[in-house]
Amino acid sequence: MAEKYIARSKAIAARMIGGETMVMSALDSTFFTLNEVASTIWQAADGRTPLSEIVTGKVCQEFDVDRERAQRAADRFVEELSQHGILLVSDQPLIDSSLESR
């Protein structure tokens, strides 16, 4: 399967509070909250690190979960956020797409 690269859109508002991340689309005002695992993927979405590497290097390490389950959950997460234009997804690295995120 082709590698996925993910980057946070610029057309959002976002802030992490107490391990969770609030994200609001500046395009349609959809509001999301991301739990700790989703927030970890979100923070790592720099457009350069392949999603599989985020899953093995971050999610599996930080949350003690097996790779397959984490990958499936990450794929679903990416699909949903990309539908709202909040995450950008490509099979090529996305240059200059990441933003400083707190």
Partner 1 sequence: MSLIAEMSQKALKLGLPISVHLDITYRCNERCVHCYLDHDDHGEMTTAEIIDVLAQLADAGVFFLSISGGEVLMRRDFFDIVERARQLLFNVKVKTNGVMIREKEAARLRQLGVEQIQISVYSHRPEVHDAITKLPGSLKKTLRAIRFLKSQGLKVSIANVLMAGNFSDQAGVIALAKELGVHYTLDPTITPKMDGDRSILALQIPGSELKQVFNNAELVGNVEEFCAPPPAPDEDVMDGYPCSAGHTACYISPYGDVFPCVQFPLPSGNVRRQKFLDIWHHSTQLKEVRSIRARDLPTCSTCAHVGTCTRCPGLAYMEGSMRGPSTADCEKSFQRTGIPSANMLKRARTDSAGPLIQIQLPMNSAQDGPFPVETGSPEALVGISAHA
Binding positions for partner 1, rule: CB under 8 A: 10-18, 20, 22, 24, 26, 28-35, 37-38, 41, 63, 65, 69-70, 73-74, 76-77, 80-81, 84, 99-102
Tell me whether residue 27 or residue 92 sits nearer to partner 1 (CB atom).
27
Please list, in sequence order, all residues whose beta carbon lies within 8 angstroms of the beta carbon of residue 35, skipping any fewer than 6 positions away.
Answer: 19, 20
3-class state of residue 49 by DSSP:
strand
Minimum CB separation of residue 60 from partner 1 in Å reads: 11
Tell me whether residue 5 or residue 59 sits nearer to partner 1 (CB atom).
59
Indicate the helix (H) or strand (E) that contains 54: helix 51-54
Q: Which amino acid is at 62?
A: E
Minimum CB separation of residue 30 from partner 1 in Å reads: 5
Please list, in sequence order, all residues whose beta carbon lies within 8 angstroms of the beta carbon of residue 28, skipping any fewer than 6 positions away.
Answer: 84
CA 31 to mean position of chain CA atoms: 15
Tell me whether residue 11 or residue 95 sits nearer to partner 1 (CB atom).
11
Minimum CB separation of residue 71 from partner 1 in Å reads: 11
